[in-house]
Amino acid sequence: MKLKKAIYLLPLILLWPVKTFAFCPLCAVATGAGVGLFRWLGVDDLIAGLWLGAFGFSSAVIFADFLAGKGMSKILSAAASAVVIAAPLIISLYPLGFFSVENKILGVEKVIFGMAGGAILLLAAPFLNGILKKFNGGSVFFPHQKVAVAIVSLLAASLIFNSIL
């Protein structure tokens, strides 16, 4: 039964661009798999939404860069990637049971609220990484620091929400 529900995420994988740009596609796929694992383990939808938002945002950035590399304007590629990535992502949540009357926070579906938070955290991660680099004379403290900052930000937000819920 749970495998049957996971098949709904298959269209997201099929839309995957081949070339790597701003975000690592492997990291984005791992994040998507993590969301499935969270759901299977019964983690609150707000926390799953954080990771799903990061997954969707990173996928949209990759796809927008791919389209821009094919000659599409940056604004049009950003809009197209938002539609191509966000619409199937949100639509695929309906059969998985993410939306219900009781599943809201501040009047918004928990998963959508979490997705917005995850996207914002991922958007802020390069700025946080830049601050860390300034403290170290323009260099990273350790390899893959940019990725670690994004993951630690999502983990911290997950732990904070988990303690509140």
Q: What confidence tens digit (pLDDT) does each residue in 15-40 have? A: 444 444 445 566 656 666 766 777 77
The answer to whether residues 142 and 136 touch, using CB atoms and an 8 Å cutoff, is: no
The percent helix, strand, coil of the chain (3-state, each to 5) is: 70, 0, 25
Mean pLDDT of the chain: 78
- pTM comes to 0.73
